[in-house]
């Protein structure tokens, strides 16, 4: 095994409190001979002192551009706009391989600096399934916010909480009438879908579960006959969407879209009726005023792209437990293999497409 340096950066997004590796898992890397550097971050749910106590070397925030060239820079969400050229190997959720907004600019930064992007979304096993994700807690929080909004108990700005606090809110919503709602979870067998179902059950909301067969053989009127749609379907190829603009003037019960996938700006958007995220400050947005003449209810959307950060401790602990064993694979003598090789191929293919587009 070769020596590996993992540099855990601070997050540039003010609402991002998660950590890709929690202090309790740092010794696993150190015992394997890794060097672990952690940037100071007052907003991270785990105190910097906890990382220092675990044996990590602590540095100032936003110092990763000066990290050693061979370091893997590890984060959660998007990088700050500078530097314009990225020279390191970065591990984070970049959302840059499916034509999303800012995808080209992100890839061009790596092209200028000669760095590489190992997008966590593309860490996949031999079966093509993702090996690590925040999906369960994304689904849990997304469904919970949908229920709270329908119960009139959701207002911005949102703030991080514990699962116990969120469950108490869900139970109160159920007692206030949310148990009379109908909810539909698409992608029900995946991580996000399972989390969404658990939140709905906590609130006592009757639910319908759709997975591949039901979403492939889409029954649009059945979908529109629910109060809440929790979308947990991830796709890398354009697919028949669930809710389009043409559906809004039809008779429907559907009142809230909780878009856990939140792929709002690319060609694989399963809910093209919405093309913008919502925020912690304004968690919902009105998409359609409704039409009483056609029994069409008002329709709101929740499309927050860092839902698990509202439960930062629980989400980070689960994610770190999954990711840390794979980080150990970075030390293989012949170079990273398995999921890391899959992520590297995804980056190379994205860069090839970028070059081909330039040459047209």
- Return d(Cα 206, Cα 141) in angstroms, integer: 17
- CA 263, 267, 90, 127 torsion: positive or negative? positive
Beta bridge partners of 81: none
Edge-to-edge strands, sheet with 299-302: 207-210, 183-186, 228-231, 256-259, 299-302, 285-288
- Return d(Cα 30, Cα 343) in angstroms, integer: 24
- SS percent in the chain: helix, strand, coil, step 5: 40, 15, 45
Query: Which residue in 148, 161, 93 sits closest to 258, CA to CA?
Result: 148
Element (H, E) at 103: helix 103-113
Cβ atoms of residues 43 and 11 within 8 Å = yes
Name the residue with tokens 């809710």: 243
- Return d(Cα 357, Cα 145) in angstroms, integer: 40
Q: How many CB atoms lie within 10 A of CB 42?
A: 8
Name 32's Cβ contacts closer than 8 Å, sequence gap at least 6.
Answer: 1, 328, 331
- Return d(Cα 153, Cα 170) in angstroms, integer: 9
- Return d(Cα 217, Cα 240) in angstroms, integer: 10
Q: How many CB atoms lie within 10 A of CB 183?
A: 26
**What residues are labeled active site?**
77, 95
Beta bridge partners of 257: 229, 301
Cβ atoms of residues 8 and 36 within 8 Å = yes
């Amino acid at each position: 095994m070769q020596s590996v340096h993992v540099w855990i950066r601070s997050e540039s997004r003010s609402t991002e409190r998660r950590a890709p590796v929690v202090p309790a898992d740092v010794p696993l890397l150190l015992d394997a001979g890794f060097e672990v550097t952690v940037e100071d971050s007052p907003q991270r749910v785990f105190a910097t002192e906890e990382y220092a106590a675990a044996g990590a070397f602590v540095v100032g925030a936003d110092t990763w551009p000066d990290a050693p060239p061979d370091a893997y820079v590890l984060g959660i969400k998007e990088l700050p706009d500078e530097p314009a050229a990225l020279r390191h190997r970065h591990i984070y959720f970049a959302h840059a391989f499916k034509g999303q907004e800012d995808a080209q600019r992100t890839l061009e930064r790596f092209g200028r600096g000669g760095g590489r992007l190992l997008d966590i979304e593309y860490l996949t096993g031999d079966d093509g399934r993702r090996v690590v994700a925040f999906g369960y807690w994304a689904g849990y929080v997304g469904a919970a916010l949908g229920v709270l909004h329908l119960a009139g108990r959701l207002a911005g700005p949102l703030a991080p909480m514990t699962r116990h606090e969120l469950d108490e809110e869900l139970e109160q919503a159920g007692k206030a009438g949310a148990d009379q709602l109908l909810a539909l979870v698409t992608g029900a067998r995946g991580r996000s879908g399972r989390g969404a179902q658990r939140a709905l059950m906590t609130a006592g909301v009757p639910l319908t579960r759709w997975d591949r067969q039901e979403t492939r053989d889409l029954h649009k009127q059945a979908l529109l006959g629910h109060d809440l749609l929790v979308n947990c379907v991830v796709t890398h190829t354009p697919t028949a969407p669930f809710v389009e603009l043409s559906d809004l003037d039809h008779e429907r019960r559907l009142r809230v879209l909780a878009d856990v996938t939140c792929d709002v700006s690319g060609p694989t958007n399963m809910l093209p009726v919405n093309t913008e995220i919502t925020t912690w400050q304004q968690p919902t947005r009105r998409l359609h005023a409704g039409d009483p003449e056609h029994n069409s209810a008002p329709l709101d959307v929740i499309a927050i792209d860092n839902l698990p950060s509202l439960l930062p401790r629980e989400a980070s602990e689960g994610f770190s437990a999954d990711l840390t064993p794979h980080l150990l694979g970075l030390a293989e003598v012949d170079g990273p293999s398995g999921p890391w090789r899959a992520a590297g191929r995804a980056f190379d293919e994205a860069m090839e497409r970028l070059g081909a587009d330039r040459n047209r």
